[in-house]
Structure 1
């Protein structure tokens, strides 16, 4: 496989994982974000998305809903992008 094929497979896997979380709420937040943005993300961006996808649904949903502050190890800037993307979709 070439490097381009590797990143293509990684993008596909991340989109799948974003849509198959275990809770419908997080599927509907991360899935559309992944569909809209993974093709434009470079390796570093995919790392950021993957780190978020690796989080457990219950705390992640609380962070997205503003019910709890995420811990310091969470990429808050990227989480804010995902939240803004979701809010924009709801406003349509």
Structure 2
């Protein structure tokens, strides 16, 4: 199982860094590189779900703090906002 988890972690970092727009590549990729090693399987699942979303949805959530309508995704976006020091985050 640990090799599967390791593969998911590596894949999540790569996907977060290669989404299509430079801004989202940077924001999600930098966060993923820092956080993914401490994530468990469920947390990686949430990251994988976020990575599959369209950039405009993620941008509104990350930049403006809008809810994605899912508590787990909103919690992850809050961590991303805090990591990057966006206004309204706890950092």
SS of equivalent to 2:37 = helix
Matched, 1:73 2:70: yes
Which of 39, 60, 63 aligns to 1:62? It is 60
Q: Give the structure-2-normalised TM-score.
A: 0.84
Choose which of 49, 70, 74 in structure 2 pairs with 1:51: 49
Unaligned runs of 5+ in 1: none
Query: What is the CA–CA distance in structure 1 between the aligned matches of 2:68 and 2:5, rounded to whole Å?
Result: 29
* CA distance in structure 1 between the partners assigned to 2:12 and 2:34 by the alignment: 12
SS in 1 for 2:85: helix
Cα RMSD between the aligned structures? 1.6
Question: SS at 1:51's partner residue?
Answer: helix
Give the secondary structure class of the aligned counterpart of 1:65: helix
Show the 5 A alignment for 1:1-92: 3-66=1-64, 69-73=66-70, 75-87=73-85
**If the length of structure 1 is used for normalisation, what is the TM-score?**
0.83
User: Shift of the alpha carbon at 1:22?
Assistant: 0.3
Task: Report the Cα distance in structure 2 between the residues aligned to 1:73 and 1:42, rounded to whole angstroms.
Answer: 19
